[in-house]
Amino acid sequence: MHSQRGFTLIELLVAISIFSIIGLASYQLLQTAIEGKNRITRSTEDTLAIARVVDMMTSDFSQLVPRRIRNNYGEWLAPLIFEEGDYLVEFTRTGWINPSGKKRSTLQRVAYSFDYDEGTLTRLFWEVLDRAEESAPVEEIILSNVEECLVAPVLDDSVQVQSESAPYLPIAIEIAIFIESSPTVLRTVRLVENAPSSYVEGPKKGTGQNAET
């Protein structure tokens, strides 16, 4: 009779140690793969979100028109205003689609604001062009995790004096968006040349703070 020999305690401990090391290494590899996939997914989502926002802002600015509006207190506001109150920029644009066929203007007053504390970029628009006392904007947060957002005009150096009889707009708008853990987004939106002056209303064109910038 041959006696059956089993594993010794040392052999079992060695085998368990090897399996533990292999299991830990496999878990770390799997964890790294999952984290990498999540980073790629977040990066892709951030890129798509930024692209949508930039396209939205480009669409708004590219349809900017020199139409002044009245604020809630009946005061005239210029067609384009930078860094006034809580807004980075406020302006009048055309091309407001009306699929429901409501009786309203095809022009729309739009603004963008940036909350430094929350890191959010918000788009606002008014449902009426010339506001009543109780008129309030419709707000939508369009981008989060924003470190900085800058909107600035690109001026034509050849224009020395802005005439009050003819509205003047910059030749383009520069947009810069700084996102956490993402490349800086820069976009220059060229404005429509020779925008119709018929959009301008009011007794004195070009008056008021930040007028016709």
pLDDT grade for 149, boundaries at 50, 70 and 90: very high
Are 53 and 182 in contact by the 8 Å Cβ rule? The answer is: no
pLDDT grade for 1, boundaries at 50, 70 and 90: low
Give the CA radius of gyration of the chain.
Answer: 29
pLDDT at 88 over 90: yes
Per-residue model confidence as pLDDT tens digits over 19-40: 888 888 888 888 888 888 887 7
List alpha helices for the chain, DSSP H: 9-62
Query: What pLDDT does residue 208 have?
Result: 39
Q: What is the rounded average pLDDT of the residues 106-133?
A: 93
Q: What is the pTM of this model?
A: 0.71
Query: What pLDDT does residue 140 have?
Result: 95
Q: What is the rounded average pLDDT of the residues 65-88?
A: 91
Query: What pLDDT does residue 2 have?
Result: 56
Q: Which three-class secondary structure state does DSSP give residue 69?
A: strand
With a pLDDT cut of 70, the percent of the chain lying above it is 80
The reply to whether 200 falls in a domain is yes
Round to whole Å and give the CA distance between 1 and 96: 97
The reply to whether 153 falls in a domain is yes
Highest mean pLDDT among 123-127, 165-169, 187-191: 123-127
The reply to whether 1 falls in a domain is no
The reply to whether 164 falls in a domain is yes
Burial 188-210 (b: 16+ CB within 10 A, else e): ebebeeebeeeebeeeebbebee
27 backbone dihedrals φ, ψ, rounded to 5°: -65, -45
The length of the chain is 213
Round to whole Å and give the CA distance between 62 and 94: 9
**How many other CB atoms are there within 10 angstroms of residue 11's CB atom?**
10
The reply to whether 53 falls in a domain is yes
pLDDT at 4 over 90: no
pLDDT grade for 158, boundaries at 50, 70 and 90: low
Highest mean pLDDT among 90-104, 126-140, 183-197: 126-140
Full domain range(s) for residue 46? 7-213
The reply to whether 43 falls in a domain is yes
Query: What pLDDT does residue 159 have?
Result: 52
Round to whole Å and give the CA distance between 43 and 181: 9
Using alpha carbons only, give the angle 95, 207, 174 rounded to the nearest 5 degrees: 50
pLDDT at 213 over 70: no
Query: Considering its fold, how many domains does the chain have in total?
Result: 1
CATH classification of the domain holding 197: 3.10.610.10
Burial 111-133 (b: 16+ CB within 10 A, else e): bbbbeeeebbbbbbebeebbbee
The reply to whether 2 falls in a domain is no
pLDDT at 96 over 70: yes
The reply to whether 18 falls in a domain is yes
